[in-house]
Structures are given as structure tokens and as C-alpha cells.
Structure 1
Amino acid sequence: MRDANVVNESANIVIVGSGLAGSLLAGMCAARGISGVLVLEAGPDIPMGDPSWWFHHVASGGGTPNTPYAACYDAAQDITATGGAGPKAEPPWSIVGGRIFGRGGTTLHWGGWIPRFMPEDFALCSATGQGIDWPFSYSDLEPFYCMAEKYLGASGDSTDNSPPRSQPYPYDAAPYPISAGPFISAFEKLSIGYGHLPMARYGQASGDFGPCRTTGTCDYCPVAGRFTGDQPLTLLRGNPAVTVRMGAPVIAIRMSSKQRVAGVTYLDQTSGRIVQVDAQAVILCNGALEVPKLLLGSKSIYWPGGIGNDHDLVGRFLSATQFFYSSGQMPNLAGFQEELGFASLCSRAFDTPAYQKKGKLFISMNYETPNLDVAKWMAAGKSVQEILAARVAATAFQLYGNLSAIPQYDNRVTPDTGTNRFGLPRTRIDTPAPLYDPDSAQEYLGIMNRVLATMGCSSVNAGTYPQRSDHAACTTRMAKDASNGVVTPELQVFGTDNLFIVSNSVMPTLPAANPTLTLVALAYKVALDSNTALGSLVGSVPKP
């Protein structure tokens, strides 16, 4: 007898996750004229680029809490986390605020930073003995970096050839704000190189979005000037070839044999029904935490330990960017104010081969300070004299640092008991091994402190932010053979014919730079190669 609570459907290609990678793959399928594409997203539809929401955001004081995606983060009760032991151990992660469940994914809150990885980042093992090398080089990926920059609407300094580039950025670099002057002067005095931070600030400007108008309210942009993962899906609205379903957490991948995926099972949160979708291929784009959880939760007679997990590698080598800060106080005699609302000054002086063994550092200027909210001071009844005095009073100047991660087998993400409010298994994160060398971190913080001291700052202090799983990666890493990784260099799960992963989870190692651009370039590299199984499915370029 048929179960009335189970619905059966079919699709050509199922894409799990509607974020950066999922929306890119959906656009590729549409560009090729492939029909029957189903995108399944656990979270809700989130309105972006909406002027009415922007007015609410501004009138409510701005910040993440006053955005439509604020309700779509992990909750503290959805996570179990353990750390290591000892003074240099990795503390338990606290991932609340690190990722977004919803249409467009975590790019809804990202800063838009899109630096390339450096050439040496693809050969960490050869240089240091840590982890494994990528199965290809920077030069192999470079043409696809150019395509990714066009797709994301990149602005950057085309005269900066570190790392080497074959084409200019699509748009000129955002200017340094006036408040960057003291930082630049200090960098030069200390012989620390600096440059423009590449940014995705033109949205898909040739479509319905962008470009950036520098409103300074980047937590919620009124014109969708920063690229976000929902934009390609908006351009696909009305396209009968692609269906996007919200509130549809995928809870299992179904196998018809060891090699063949039959489809997926998801929960329709609106009706409460279980839906079984038969599919010709499944592409997992649901992030470095959810992808391994789904694979491990999809046990069967063919994969008793979870799909792709015959070598106990799924969910292991969990890596994430560790964020540091250095802060000091200095009279703001020039009356500097926040201008752009996003970073444009960075330093990659310590993101070079010489620092790879100890861990590489990517430095950026905190773009949110100095900042005096004159409207609030006026609303509080402050006099003109008081406001003018506050404008030049001592204020905070800060630097941020991103440190590359050490690949550690014992650091792992797995599904935990129970479900979250999006219908997905709770998340368990165990990090008994350190992600970075604390001695190296202290050395780098000392350098950042010297920059602030050279600027004339006092009360200089430094520290680290709690680990939110920012830029989480490496949990289904690609390798040349199944004994070292979960997916092939063509992003196909080892031992399967029609299961693919396009996510930060496939990166073998995580350098200091933001991985977003590299993920898009990697997707292009594989999906545009007709000789790969994924390329034979989706190999067309969506219009930027």
C-alpha cells in the first residue's frame, strides 16, 4: 500500500543548495538549455535588494540584526562542539553567525572579498609536508580565475601582478578611503607591501543588479550592488527549465547500486511530507558542513559507512579561516569617517612562500572605523560643539588578519542527533587538533600591533575572534586517489557515476585568502571541460 505521506517526483539534475555554487550550476544548466533542473534549499526565500527592507534596515539602526537574513543563522542549540586540551589547543567552535540558510546562502552577508589564491597555495604538502597538494597548479586554474572575476563583477588593480594574471579585472579597483592614509604611511615606514583588495561590487550589473553605489549599508544593499548567490536565481525566474524549492531540506541520497545515485529524499516543510526525487545526476552545493553530514547520513547496503566514506575521510580535515584583530586608539584630528562601507586596503606581504611553513597571513584594514553617527548624536540632543569635538576625539583604528589553516585529520564535522528548525540534522564539530600555530599567530599579531604603534596609536591590543566556521572547507577534499580524498579532480565522488560536489568542501587545503573566487574558478574549470562527467552535464557559461 502506498504511503500517503511520501510523494514521488523526478528530475533530470538535482542541485542541493542555492548558494554561490548552486546558483552558478543552475545558471550553467539553463544556458545549455537543460530542462528538469531542481534546486533544493533548506532555508526560506530571503528578500534582497529591496528598498523597503533597506529603509527598515537604516531606520532601525543598521547592522546584521536588522536584515531579513538575521533569522536564518545557526542557533546555539543546533550545534555540539568540542575542542582540544592544553594551552595551545583549539577551543570549541561557536558557529552562530557564520553561515546563512536560505536562497542565496552565506554570500547574503559576505564582504565581497575575492582575492585569488597564490601559486604556492596549490602545493602546500610539497613545500611544508602538511596536508596534500592540489591535483593541479595555479597556472592550470588561472584562465578560470579570469572567468570567475567576470561572473562575480570583480573590481581590482589590474597592474598588480601578484599573483600573475592574464587578463585585467572587469572593473577598476575601489579607491582607498581617506582614513586608509595613516595605515598606508605606517606600511611604507615598516616596508610592508600593500594593495587594493579585489571586491565583487558590481553584482550582475549587466542584468538587473548593481553596480555598487557606496551607500555604506553593506549589511543590506538597496541596489544589490555586491554579488550575492540569489542574483543568478532571480535572473532564472520564469525559466521553465529550472525549479527552485525553498524549505526543502535534503535528508538522504538514495543509491540504486554502489556506483549509481537513484535520487534524493527531502522534507517538504510546508506540507510535512517526505518527497523522493528520482534523478539522473545529483550535485551537492550545500557547503562544507552540510555536504559531509549528508554523505555520512546516507548509509545503505552499498555504503554502510556513508557515501564516499570507505576510507573514513568524509567530514575530516575540517578547516576554516581564523580571524585576528589588532586595535588601538588615536585622536581623529583629520576627522576621518567611514566612506565606502567595505574594505579596499589589504596587505599580502605575509601571504608568500617564505611564510607558508608557519602559516600565511592576509591583512586588511577595518573599514568600519573611524565612524561617528552624527544623526544619533543629533537625536540625542547633542550640541554642534559636542559633535565637532567628538569628530576629532580619540577613536579606534583596527587591522584584521586571516591566518591559513593547518590540515588536521582529527578535526571533523558529523551529523548529530536531532534536527534544527530547517529540518537538517544538528551539527557536531570536533576540533581536537589546532588549526594554526599559536606562536606564529603571536608573531603576526606583534607585526600588526607595530603598524598601529607606528601610526601613533596608544592602548594597542590584539586577539582572536571565536571560530564561526567562516570559509569552512576541506571536509570532502579532492585528491588523485580515493585513499587520500573523497572526490576526484573532476569533483566526482570516488566510486560513483553521477554524484558530484561543488563546494569549499572539495578544497584540499585552505590558504589565508577568502576562497569564494577560487570556488567559482574551480567550478568553471571542471564544468566547462566536456571530457569530465560534470562537464558533459552542465558545460555552458551563464551570461555574467
Structure 2
Amino acid sequence: MNGAAPTDDRTPVAEADVCIVGAGPAGSLVADRLASAGHRVVVLDAGLRFDPSERIRRQERAIRPYYDRPDVWDGDPERDAYSATGEWFYPLNHARVKGIGGSTLHWQGMVMRLHEADFNSGSERGAGPDWPIEYADLRPYYADAEAELGVSGADIPFGPPREEPHPMPAFPPSYSDSLFAAACDELGIAMHPVPNARNSESYDGRSECVGYGTCQPVCPSGAKYDGTVHAESAEAQGARVIDRARVTELEHGPNQVEAAVYVTPDGDEHRQEADAFVLAAGGVEIPRLLLLSESDHYPDGLANSSGLVGRYFMDHLFAGAGGRLDEPTRQNHVGFLTSESHQFYDDADEEFAPFKLEFFNYAGPSPVEMALSGDDWGDELLGRLREGYGNHVAVGALVEQLPREDSYIGLDPDRTDDLGNPVPDVHWNVGDRALRTIERVNDIQHGILETLGAEIEWTVGPEETGPAYHHMGTTRMSADPSEGVVDATLRTHDLDNCWIASSSVFPTGGAMNPTLTIAALALKAADSIEASL
């Protein structure tokens, strides 16, 4: 197949080998890998194909207080309607992007490997299940994923073993990192670089980071990786990527998916047939699609003989504290993290969860945010900026939430989207282990800030915590078909031509940002799919 420029043709691809649902990093990586092997690949995504030339305009929108975060990437409240009925409210649309590139269009870009014990949490920590794979099984795919995404980093003293250096050198510590380092040295807390999927030097035809500082939610330069890199590479190798193709059902027999049914903006319904199918639409939309695809063969939802599709929904929980120093900190000059600490990570056990500390470079408002949020002008505005900007500090953390069967993605029986389909119901429950850990994290964070001499002004503790918007666990991996939805190759237990590439397959979440593991698993799944074709 020859690569072709994107068109408005949204009709099905004839004689497709592989149909992929979702053009985020996982779906795009699988598409690129299989297209490069000569397979006829089609990718269907519910969202838009965003014009790269508009990123500056989106950046300008992002820094204006009038716009909420979903507005930046054209969120659609009718298309993206949802319910949240759990013990904890889940603001799903706050950090959801539907479009070619997926959530990597607005992600922060941190890419850590899970630790070895994360794969054996049950046996090593006495908490949660073990994965059906070991770190060693994923280790070569981690290296492959780092090369594909382009990762700037350095050795993490507490991290798992590596086979080679990161593709690019780590970003140097920020000025505020040097302030934190003095306090951490006094407390015996080790700081180290953050692996970032952004270019510290030119890489793979993309520029080095030029310091816009608006990484969340817009990187105008393209130095931060997003899924469009591999979506476009897949297209150059002959894959077809169709935007605004909303898959509403997977037609199937008892053992195989036969077609993905999708609706286009003109209201037409199409059927995309293929030999193999890959679900890569994330930890909410994948279980929703499977549940919407119920049939006589699968009355409780497709691939759901275990009854666990949608169950064990997890996220990472945030813990943080911040305040002010009586000196400039240069906060908000850098839009991403350059230092963190995994020192306490492997102390996790049955009572306390793993967590990692994050030293913020963007505490407090930026000068632009301050200028646009007031109604003063001239000398009065300048005085307010001088008084209120530049002396903020903050320490954050991500904390693991254990899987719970009563934390799940279901279908709302009463509410539908603009196509008349039941919306996802996010029923999010958080366990005591995570909340105890947040208290412990806050104590460490307060100790750092007090040693630094900061006046602590705010704390996000167990009662104020919220999600990091990492949707995990809803189609989890298992060796026993009764205990999960996919096997160790990411193929569904029930269907021999359907794979899932997503953090939805994580049996446990650890406390590391999930995208590098998603990418590694996607490349592992691509090998499995390739072998089956």
C-alpha cells in the first residue's frame, strides 16, 4: 500500500487486515508497527484531526481564564456526556481529549517504567493481584517504546534495571529544583531527573523543547511527543486513519469480532470488516464499547464471560502541599517537571501504597495568568505582578489506588449521548490504603517545605485528593480467564481476533505515570497480532 494524504472519505477500507479503534499513542503505535510490516490497517477515531498550524491559537485559548480545559481541544459535552455515581465524584471530561493523538495532545509527558515489584504486588507487597507477566517480559518493549516516543532522561537510582541509556540526555534541574535540593539533602531525600517524552535535543525530525511553558494543555512546537507522530507515520506507510468515526458496536460471532460499526458526521453508518481488531480507545470507552456490544452470545457485554469488563477501575491519587518563600523561586518558567524522587516507592506493603514525589516547576500563577485574571492596568497591574509572582513552591505526589470490584465503568440506564447510546457511568471508589498513604506523603511534603523555610499555604490531603486522569484496570490482564478480560499477549480470552492496547489492561496501577507502559504493551501486542496474521 502507498501512503496517501488524509481525506474526508470515511468509507470502510476493503480487505483490511487490522481495524484499530482509537488513534491515541497505543492505537497509533500498533498501526505504525503493523503498517510498516505491510499489513492493510485502518484506524477509527471518534474525535477530530487537529490542524498542527492551529496549536498557537489553542495555546492562546489555553492561557485565557475564560476557557476551561476541555475547550482547548474542542470537547463536546453532548458527544462526551457521562455520569459519575461512585462514592467519589469523577470529573471525567476535565482531562479527556477525543481526537487523533488522544490524551497525549495535552498530557504532561512524564514517562517512567513501572518498578519490578509493581508486576508482583500481591506476592511482593501483599496487596492486589500479580500481573501474568514480569518486568523482564516487558523490559525490551520499554526500551523500544522509549526510542519510539523519544525520551530524555538519566538513570534513576531507585528504578528498575535498564539495558541502555535514554535516547536523549535529561533536562537540567530547574532553579527551583536547586532550592528543593538543599532541603532534601538536609532530610536525606534523594532527588533525580524525570524521564520526559519531550526532546532535550532535536530527535526524529522534531525540534528540541523551546520553552513555551504551556505543556499542559498545548505544546505548540511539537517537541513534546504525542500520538500524531505515529498516526502520521502509519499513514505514510499505507494505513488509513479516519477521524470523526464513532464506533458504536462490535458485530461478532461466538469467537471472533466481524466488524466495527461506526457513525460519521453526516449521520451515515458503516461497517468496517477486518481479520483482526484492536481496541485502543482508553480505559473508559473500551469497556463502554464492549458493554454496548452485548448479544445472545455475550448477554452481559462482549468479551465479558468473566463479568469483569469495566470492573477494577483505578486511577492515581494526588497528594500535594505548597506555599511561599521570602525569595524568588522562578516558578512557572518551566512547564514540566525536571526532578522527582522514587526513594520511598519500594517501601510499599499491605498497609501503605507506593508513591513518588514530584518537585513542581509551576506552582502559583504565571505572569500571563495574573495579568489576564484582573481588571487593573498600568502601574497598578505591574505592582500586583511584582508582589504576587515568583515566590511560590510546591511538592506533589502520585499514590497508587488498589483495584476494587466496586470501582467500575458501567452504562447509565437513564442517560444517553447525542447518538442515543447509554453514556459511561464512572463509579469511582477509593480504598483506605491509598488515603493512609496520602497522609504519610503530606507529612514528608510538609517536612520538605518547612526545612526550605516556606510558609505552607495549602495541602491536598486525603479529603481533598482527586484523580490524575489515568484510567486503568477496566479490562484487566490475567492468566485465568475467569479473573480478567485479556491474556498476557493482550488478546481477549473470549475472542481470538481481538486485542486490547490500553492502560485498561493493568491489573494494578503502581504510582508511575502509565503512558510508557501503555506504549510498551502496545508494541508487545503488535508482535502478537503480527504473529496471528
What TM-score do you get using the length of structure 2 for normalisation?
A: 0.88
Q: Whole-Å Cα distance in 1 between the matches of residues 429 and 159 of structure 2?
A: 35
User: 1:328–1:460: 8 Å Cα contact kept in structure 2?
Assistant: yes
Q: Whole-Å Cα distance in 2 between the matches of residues 292 and 14 of structure 1?
A: 17
Seq. identity, %: 28
Q: 1:176, CA displacement in angstroms?
A: 0.7
Greater shift in the superposed pair: 509-518 or 142-151 = 142-151
- Deviation string 1:255-298 (CA, Å, 9 cap, x unpaired) is 1x311211111111x22011122221110000011111111111
Tell me what 1:189 maps to: 186
Tell me what 1:485 maps to: 484
Residue identity opposite 1:366 in structure 2: F
The CA RMSD over aligned residues, in Å, is 3.0
User: 1:319–1:435: 8 Å Cα contact kept in structure 2?
Assistant: no
Q: Whole-Å Cα distance in 1 between the matches of residues 280 and 359 of structure 2?
A: 31
Segments of structure 1 that go 5 or more residues without pairing to the other structure are 1-6, 85-90, 539-544
Residue identity opposite 1:497 in structure 2: D
Q: 1:215, CA displacement in angstroms?
A: 2.3
2:133 is the counterpart of 1:136: yes
Pairing partner for 1:21 from 26, 42, 46: 26
Alignment of 1:495-510 (within 5 A): 495-510=494-509
Question: Aligned in 2, Cα 1:297/1:512: closer, same or farther, shift over 3 Å?
Answer: same
User: 1:350–1:362: 8 Å Cα contact kept in structure 2?
Assistant: yes
Q: 1:354, CA displacement in angstroms?
A: 4.3
Tell me what 2:305 maps to: 310
Tell me what 1:409 maps to: 405
Pairing partner for 1:230 from 228, 231, 236: 228
Q: 1:351, CA displacement in angstroms?
A: 1.0
2:346 is the counterpart of 1:352: yes
Aligned length: 515
Tell me what 1:54 maps to: 56
Tell me what 1:248 maps to: 245
Alignment of 1:394-543 (within 5 A): 395-417=391-413, 418-420=415-417, 425-432=422-429, 434=431, 436-464=433-461, 467-468=466-467, 470-528=469-527, 532=528, 534-536=529-531
Question: Aligned in 2, Cα 1:450/1:161: closer, same or farther, shift over 3 Å?
Answer: closer
Q: Whole-Å Cα distance in 2 between the matches of residues 406 and 232 of structure 1?
A: 32
Question: Aligned in 2, Cα 1:389/1:92: closer, same or farther, shift over 3 Å?
Answer: closer
Greater shift in the superposed pair: 140-149 or 366-375 = 366-375
Question: Aligned in 2, Cα 1:8/1:166: closer, same or farther, shift over 3 Å?
Answer: closer
Pairing partner for 2:269 from 270, 274, 277: 274
Residue identity opposite 1:510 in structure 2: G
Question: Aligned in 2, Cα 1:20/1:238: closer, same or farther, shift over 3 Å?
Answer: closer
Q: Whole-Å Cα distance in 1 between the matches of residues 251 and 395 of structure 2?
A: 48
SS at match of 1:473: coil
Q: 1:424, CA displacement in angstroms?
A: 6.2
2:219 is the counterpart of 1:221: yes
Q: 1:449, CA displacement in angstroms?
A: 1.1
Residue identity opposite 2:438 in structure 1: A
Residue identity opposite 2:437 in structure 1: S
Pairing partner for 1:258 from 238, 242, 254: 254
SS at match of 1:500: strand
Greater shift in the superposed pair: 270-279 or 200-209 = 200-209
Tell me what 1:292 maps to: 287
SS at match of 1:362: strand
Q: 1:361, CA displacement in angstroms?
A: 1.1
User: 2:111–2:513: 8 Å Cα contact kept in structure 1?
Assistant: yes
SS at match of 1:198: coil
Segments of structure 2 that go 5 or more residues without pairing to the other structure are 1-10
Q: Whole-Å Cα distance in 2 between the matches of residues 421 and 187 of structure 1?
A: 52
Question: Aligned in 2, Cα 1:8/1:58: closer, same or farther, shift over 3 Å?
Answer: closer
SS at match of 2:17: strand
Q: 1:76, CA displacement in angstroms?
A: 11
2:78 is the counterpart of 1:79: no
Question: Aligned in 2, Cα 1:375/1:15: closer, same or farther, shift over 3 Å?
Answer: closer
Q: 1:72, CA displacement in angstroms?
A: 2.1
Q: Whole-Å Cα distance in 2 between the matches of residues 60 and 325 of structure 1?
A: 24
SS at match of 1:117: coil
2:90 is the counterpart of 1:109: no
Question: Aligned in 2, Cα 1:347/1:62: closer, same or farther, shift over 3 Å?
Answer: farther
User: 1:405–1:510: 8 Å Cα contact kept in structure 2?
Assistant: yes
- Deviation string 1:436-487 (CA, Å, 9 cap, x unpaired) is 4322221211111111111101134311566456111011111111111110
2:95 is the counterpart of 1:98: yes
Question: Aligned in 2, Cα 1:258/1:178: closer, same or farther, shift over 3 Å?
Answer: same
Question: Aligned in 2, Cα 1:370/1:288: closer, same or farther, shift over 3 Å?
Answer: closer
- Deviation string 1:38-85 (CA, Å, 9 cap, x unpaired) is 11111111233x3x541563487458748974322667982221233x
Q: 1:344, CA displacement in angstroms?
A: 0.7
Q: Whole-Å Cα distance in 1 between the matches of residues 391 and 78 of structure 2?
A: 33
What TM-score do you get using the length of structure 1 for normalisation?
A: 0.87
Q: 1:502, CA displacement in angstroms?
A: 0.5
2:171 is the counterpart of 1:202: no
Q: 1:353, CA displacement in angstroms?
A: 3.8
Q: Whole-Å Cα distance in 2 between the matches of residues 385 and 65 of structure 1?
A: 26
Residue identity opposite 1:38 in structure 2: V
Pairing partner for 1:124 from 121, 126, 130: 121
Tell me what 2:169 maps to: 172
SS at match of 1:397: strand
Q: 1:127, CA displacement in angstroms?
A: 2.4
SS at match of 1:169: coil
SS at match of 1:448: helix
Q: 1:234, CA displacement in angstroms?
A: 2.5
Q: 1:376, CA displacement in angstroms?
A: 6.7
Question: Aligned in 2, Cα 1:495/1:370: closer, same or farther, shift over 3 Å?
Answer: closer
Q: Whole-Å Cα distance in 2 between the matches of residues 383 and 14 of structure 1?
A: 59
User: 2:27–2:522: 8 Å Cα contact kept in structure 1?
Assistant: no
Question: Aligned in 2, Cα 1:493/1:119: closer, same or farther, shift over 3 Å?
Answer: same
- Deviation string 1:204-253 (CA, Å, 9 cap, x unpaired) is 955443322222232322220000011222234454x3111111111111
SS at match of 1:96: helix
Q: Whole-Å Cα distance in 2 between the matches of residues 77 and 249 of structure 1?
A: 11
User: 2:490–2:525: 8 Å Cα contact kept in structure 1?
Assistant: yes
- Deviation string 1:127-161 (CA, Å, 9 cap, x unpaired) is 23332101121122212211111111101113746
Q: Whole-Å Cα distance in 1 between the matches of residues 235 and 128 of structure 2?
A: 42
Q: 1:366, CA displacement in angstroms?
A: 1.8
